[in-house]
Amino acid sequence: MDNLRLVLWATLALTIWMSFQAWQKNFAPASSQPVSEVTENVGQAESNAVVMTDELPVLPDAPESETTNNQIVEVPVSVNRFIRVKTDVLDVKINLEGGDLQSAALPKYPLKKDEPDNPVRLLSPQRGNFFVFRTGVRAIGADAEPNHLATYMAEKDEYILPDGQDELFVTLRWSDQSGVKSEKIYRFTRGSYAIGYDQVIDNQSSEPYQTISYTQLKRLYKPVERSMFDVDTYSFVGPVIFDGSKYEKYEATDLEEEPVSLDVNDGWIASIQHHFLVAAVPDSGIKKYEATYNGGDTLLSIVDSESVITAPGDTFVYESTLFVGPKLQAQLEQISDRLTLTVDYGLLTILAQPLFWLLKTVYQFLGNWGWTIIIVTMLIKLAFYKLTEKSGRSMAKMRKLAPRLKSLQERYKDDREALSRSMMDLYKTEKVNPAAGCWPMLVQIPFFIAFYWVLLESVEMRQAPFMLWITDLSIRDPFFILPLLMGAAMFFQQKLNPAPPDPMQAKVMQFLPIVFTAMFAFFPAGLVLYWLTNSVLSMAQQWRINKMIGAD
């Protein structure tokens, strides 16, 4: 029984160490740029033409002679073919060679807080940071098709969402000599990172036009050098697929060995990184989802399982939604079921999501994430009050019995069996359960881990200030003041609890606040603020209980 407290601390230390290991686990260290540097450099070289190797989706159930368009080709990309689209939250470029989104800046999300004019950038057609959408249709038995290699036309070089207007439509046009026309229509909405995307097939030819729609998300794979000093490198970076029931992340090296091919209804694809994602959500219906890794790139594809025949004089519209931006859960929920899973809370999502909801609700009243964390910590402490009170009373009674336990140890120092028997008799006489002080604390560990992931992964708290020197709760305290205060609170909290009977255990317990202070020094300041608040509240509660038990 006397060892349970040491087991508790060892378990908590192991849990936090496992969380720390999670920062490092996705890839082995490599001599490549961290994600933060990659996103910073996207678009810097847009003045250079690039040659891209493009794979068109294979046409199903078509004679070999009718699939001549299905080949790998070299396509020169000229920056003169880009048009610019600006809204209040997006600054994107669409390449008329393919008609696809190929560059996106997020003006409201600076890469660094002290550089407001240097926004996070997603998507790039440049070789060193390649990350693009590719959309279009394959035509069965036709000489030309509006795929992602076709050339589109636009009415203007720049589209800007005017003040007072909530939607902006950008229409790109393509046609062939037979009379088939196609339009790619992008719908941008004020305040939203979701982009409506329709591809219209208008068959003005004399023959039926049979098509299959596809969407691809291709990204250069770069092993990321994990660093405990940069929270952007903690999270998974790469492709994910939701197959209608479960969400799966895919390592590039695993895809190289075993590509993924799934028949999916009501799913979506995305490429995620810390706080941000790019996703494609197609219309309903069974589609072929594929994920591959080849030549240094990961490629996610959605291809229609069945073709559509557009009769002469008719039109048909393929509908879908694209998302380029931060992982704002309110917006993700509006787009597709379970798209919020891209906010990667890990195995404890079932606890993390309610905690985030509680944080968001309190924040609506306070308007400051730091004070929100403090209030939510108090609410969690209140929810566990009865449980921790029971634990505290057990510890207070153990503290009161400490002199008698020490006397027994001295009396039976050479007889371990007699010592154990005498201690159990004492516990029974005084109605004390040593384990009662440990298990209530163990119950709270999952909430600690869930809170850790909420603070680390929720973009809503990215670069959020608290007060004084804490200007960003999602990164470490720059002066390590909060970790030192937390360590001091843990030290004094420990003094209020009974010391382990074994001198060696007592020394280990005294050393643990120093270990935790060192570990928490590199955790997000918001998490340290939570643990500091929790430690202070626990210390106050234990002090009150000790006074009550001492007065009995």
pLDDT digits (tens, 9 = 90+) for 270-281: 999 889 999 999
Same domain, 8 and 107: no
pLDDT for residue 119 is more than 70: yes
pLDDT for residue 400 is more than 50: yes
pLDDT for residue 207 is more than 60: yes
Listed residue (505, 347, 523, 346) closest to 10, CA to CA = 505
Q: What is the pLDDT of residue 488?
A: 85
In a domain, 355, yes or no: no
Residues contacting residue 356 through CB under 8 Å, at least 6 positions apart: 329, 345, 454, 458
Report the range of poorest mean pLDDT among 2-11, 329-338, 386-395, 445-454: 2-11
Among candidate residues 343, 378, 402, the one where a domain is terminated? 343
pLDDT in tens, 236-269: 888 999 988 888 898 888 888 889 889 888 899 9
Question: pTM here?
Answer: 0.79
Instruction: Give all strands of the β-sheet with 119-122 in edge-to-edge order.
Output: 119-122, 100-110, 91-95, 82-86, 158-160
Mean pLDDT of the chain, nearest integer: 78
Same domain, 214 and 282: yes
In a domain, 531, yes or no: yes
In a domain, 82, yes or no: yes
Give the residue, 290 or 81, on which the prediction is more confident: 290
pLDDT in tens, 435-489: 555 555 677 778 878 887 888 888 988 888 888 888 888 778 888 888 899 888 8
Among candidate residues 279, 312, 343, the one where a domain is terminated? 343
Q: What is the pLDDT of residue 224?
A: 65
Q: What is the pLDDT of residue 33?
A: 38
**Where residue 94 sits, what CATH number does that domain have?**
2.70.98.90
Listed residue (93, 118, 123, 89) closest to 106, CA to CA = 89
Q: What is the pLDDT of residue 68?
A: 39
pLDDT in tens, 286-334: 889 999 988 788 889 899 888 899 999 999 999 999 999 999 999 999 9
Same domain, 199 and 90: yes
Same domain, 389 and 497: yes
Same domain, 336 and 384: no
Same domain, 337 and 372: no
Tokens standing for 506?
Answer: 């007592």
pLDDT in tens, 166-203: 999 999 999 998 899 999 999 999 999 999 999 999 99
Report the range of poorest mean pLDDT among 40-54, 220-234, 347-361, 427-441: 40-54
pLDDT category at 507 given cuts 50, 70, 90 is low
Burial classification of residue 508, based on how many CB atoms lie within 10 Å of its CB (0-12 exposed, 13-18 middle, 19 or more buried): middle
Tokens standing for 323?
Answer: 């998302």
Listed residue (256, 264, 311, 306) closest to 289, CA to CA = 264
Percent of residues, the chain, with pLDDT higher than 70: 71
In a domain, 89, yes or no: yes
Q: What is the pLDDT of residue 436?
A: 55
Same domain, 419 and 520: yes
In a domain, 348, yes or no: no
pLDDT category at 69 given cuts 50, 70, 90 is very low
Q: What is the pLDDT of residue 397?
A: 62
CB 180 within 8 A of CB 199: no
DSSP string, 473-506: TTS--TT-HHHHHHHHHHHHHHHTSPPPSSHHHH
Same domain, 216 and 106: yes
Q: Strand, helix or coil at 8?
A: helix
Among candidate residues 297, 317, 343, the one where a domain is terminated? 343
pLDDT for residue 498 is more than 60: no
Domain count of the chain?
2
How many angstroms separate the CA atoms of 196 and 141, rounded?
Answer: 29
In a domain, 98, yes or no: yes
Same domain, 141 and 109: yes
How many angstroms separate the CA atoms of 541 and 536, rounded?
Answer: 9
Same domain, 257 and 406: no
In a domain, 90, yes or no: yes
Same domain, 237 and 152: yes
In a domain, 470, yes or no: yes
CB 102 within 8 A of CB 95: yes
Same domain, 70 and 16: no
Q: What is the pLDDT of residue 52?
A: 43
Report the range of poorest mean pLDDT among 161-165, 366-370, 409-413: 409-413
Q: Residue 323's domain spans which residues?
A: 49-343
Q: What is the pLDDT of residue 439?
A: 59
Q: What number is the average pLDDT over the span 520-529?
A: 84
pLDDT in tens, 126-165: 878 889 999 999 999 888 899 999 999 999 999 999 998 9
